[in-house]
Copies of this chain bind each other. A is one copy, B any other.
């Protein structure tokens, strides 16, 4: 296993410490809890947004904590759900009296634990609600999931609902908006290699030197097809046909936000090549790309090579919130 780490069992703690050290004034770490919190939390009378999940998807989720996005992120062990206790501590740290909203990616452990955390928080007089994001069109039911998995489309929920919370929307309004974003966002990915979780030190799956996996999950869950590598434009066409063939009408009038998300090991060169294919195919299909697409690493799988495509059909309210300023670690290259 080739990694820049000190000890496989301490990667999450050391990473979070590095994040806190790298972003003084923006982030603080709740000691012993592996929870990253906005340095200025709680914000009085603002709905607080919390997300979280297994580590290994950076900058998801800690990289999205800050003004205009999340109030807290709960980091589980690599590819392992955080605990209800972590989520409760996060809730207590960020609740400003207007309630706490959980953005949950659809994995069974995440959903169960956030639901339990919500009950514990309610017992402490903190109002809670949540959305379960399930944007991945690849498969129904998977290794860790009942229904569809939640992947990179979740970042749009963070961005749009984070701006809405800043704008004063109440808990019921955030819930409605989050459900609306989730109803209009669809994603699908592909991989060329497995990633290697630090604790096991072994790849999650074996894959041939000339093979790719279409529709795999961000924890290496099986996809829908294993086949020989194809040219980028063919791969992109496959992913987009499955996304466009789902039940959101991206081709009618209106604008669509587009994300080409690298999974960790794929260089930016290839993401831009893939984006050129995406732009060509969406033009052919009559899909109107809204302003600037999102090309980069938003939700990774450690060092997995591959990428995902996400489309979000926008309404006017979503556009405003998508463009609102935010200040988060993942958005601070300079």
Residues of A at under 8 Å CB distance from B? 2-7, 11, 14-19, 21-24, 55-56, 58-59, 63, 159, 192-193, 209, 212, 229, 231-233, 235, 264-277, 279, 292-298, 300, 302-303, 305-307, 326, 328, 330-334
- B2 near A305: Cβ-Cβ < 8 Å: yes
Contact B273 A5 (CB under 8 A): yes
Q: What are 28 contact pairs spanning A and B, CB under 8 A?
A: A2-B209, A2-B212, A2-B305, A4-B271, A5-B270, A11-B269, A14-B272, A15-B270, A15-B273, A15-B276, A16-B272, A18-B272, A18-B273, A18-B274, A18-B279, A18-B295, A19-B272, A23-B292, A58-B268, A159-B334, A264-B265, A265-B265, A265-B267, A265-B303, A268-B300, A297-B297, A298-B333, A330-B333
Judge whether A232 and B279 touch: CB under 8 Å: no
The list of the 8 closest CB pairs from A to B, nearest first, reads A18-B272, A18-B276, A58-B268, A4-B270, A2-B192, A18-B275, A6-B231, A15-B272
Q: A17-B276, A22-B272, A331-B334 are in contact. List 18 more A-B contacts (CB 8 A).
A: A2-B229, A4-B192, A5-B231, A18-B271, A18-B276, A21-B275, A21-B276, A21-B279, A22-B293, A22-B295, A55-B269, A56-B267, A58-B268, A58-B269, A267-B303, A268-B297, A297-B297, A330-B333
Q: Write out the residue numbers on chain B whose beta carbons fall within 8 Å of the beta carbon of A229.
A: 2
Query: Is the CB–CB distance between A4 and B273 below 8 Å?
Result: yes
A298 to chain B, nearest CB (A): 8
CB contacts (< 8 Å) of A298 on chain B: these are 333
* Chain B residues, CB < 8 A from A295: 18, 22
Which residues of chain B have C-beta atoms less than 8 A from A18's C-beta?
271-276, 279, 295
User: How many copies of this chain?
Assistant: 2
Say how far A259's CB is from chain B's closest CB, in angstroms: 11
Chain B residues with Cβ below 8 Å from A267 are 56, 58, 264-265, 300, 302-303
Contact between chains at B15 and A269 (CB < 8 Å)? yes
CA–CA, A232 and B6, complex, Å:
5
CB contacts (< 8 Å) of A21 on chain B: these are 275-276, 279
A132 to B229, CA, bound (A): 41
Point out the residue from B5, B193, B279 that lies within 8 Å of A2, measured CB to CB: B193
Q: Closest CB-CB distance, A227 to chain B, in whole Å?
A: 13
Closest to A19 in B: B272
Best-surrounded residue of A232, A275, A334 (most CB of chain B within 10 A): A334
Considering only CB atoms, which chain B residue lies closest to A268 in the complex?
A: B58
Q: Which of B4, B231, B305, B326 contacts A334 (CB 8 A)?
A: B326
Known contacts: A4-B266, A265-B265, A269-B55. The answer to whether A296 contacts B333 by CB under 8 A is yes
